């Protein structure tokens, strides 16, 4: 998972100097992710299909497992100039992010093993994964 990055204030210098100052869209502060149980059954994938049917909701798998991603949802603390409005109190996940190689360098999806930005991409995967893909599956008992 790529945690939310800490948008560094102009006065703070890190290993990449003012890299965050150059990052105009503050990509790392405009989405959230949530790890989910690895989907295995048709029912699990039906749930996932429903979730990614909503705008800005996607799913991916990387070396840490499966995640939902809600993209295009800027953090309410992101200031118009790209700085963090609660910099001193920002959450640990924001503090721990390393900007040595981040979304400024390449899209996060470049590092995903599987990437489903929408319903149709996930449906194609389901049809490949399950020989006889069908909906209407009961939850596992
Ligand atoms: S709390 Fe600050 S650093 Fe963290 S996502 Fe929000 S704006 Fe970005
Ligand atoms: S995406 Fe990278 S460069 Fe841009 S604000 Fe986040 S850590 Fe800084």
Q: In this predicted model, what pLDDT tens digit does every residue of 32-66 receive, in sequence order?
A: 999 999 999 999 999 999 999 999 999 999 999 99
68 bridge partner residues: 34, 59
Ligand nearest to the CA of 75: 1
Distance between CA atoms of 129 and 133, rounded to whole angstroms? 8
**Ligand 2 pocket mutation, candidates 24, 71, 94, 102, criterion most atoms within 8 A of CB:** 102
Delimit the domains of the chain by residue range. Answer: 19-40+59-116
| Beta-carbon contacts of residue 50 (< 8 Å; ≥ 6 apart) | none
Which strand (E) or helix (H) includes residue 34?
A: strand 31-36
CB 90, CB 48: distance < 8 Å: no
Q: Write out the chain's pLDDT in tens, 141 residues.
A: 434 444 444 333 333 457 888 888 899 999 999 999 999 999 999 999 999 999 999 999 999 999 999 999 999 999 998 899 999 999 999 999 888 889 999 999 999 999 999 999 999 999 999 999 999 999 988
């Amino acid at each position: 998972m790529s945690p939310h990055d800490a948008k560094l204030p102009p006065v703070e210098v890190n290993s990449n100097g003012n890299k965050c100052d150059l990052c105009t869209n503050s990509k790392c502060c405009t989405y959230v992710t949530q790890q989910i149980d690895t989907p295995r059954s048709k029912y699990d994938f039906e749930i996932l299909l429903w979730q990614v049917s909503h705008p800005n909701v996607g799913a991916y798998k990387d070396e840490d497992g499966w995640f939902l991603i809600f993209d295009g949802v800027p953090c309410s603390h992101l200031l118009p100039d790209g700085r963090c409005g609660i910099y001193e109190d920002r959450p640990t996940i924001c503090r721990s992010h390393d900007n040595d190689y981040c979304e400024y360098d390449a899209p996060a999806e470049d590092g995903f093993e599987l990437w489903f930005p929408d319903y149709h991409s996930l449906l194609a995967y389901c049809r490949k994964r399950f020989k006889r893909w069908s909906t209407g599956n009961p939850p596992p008992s």
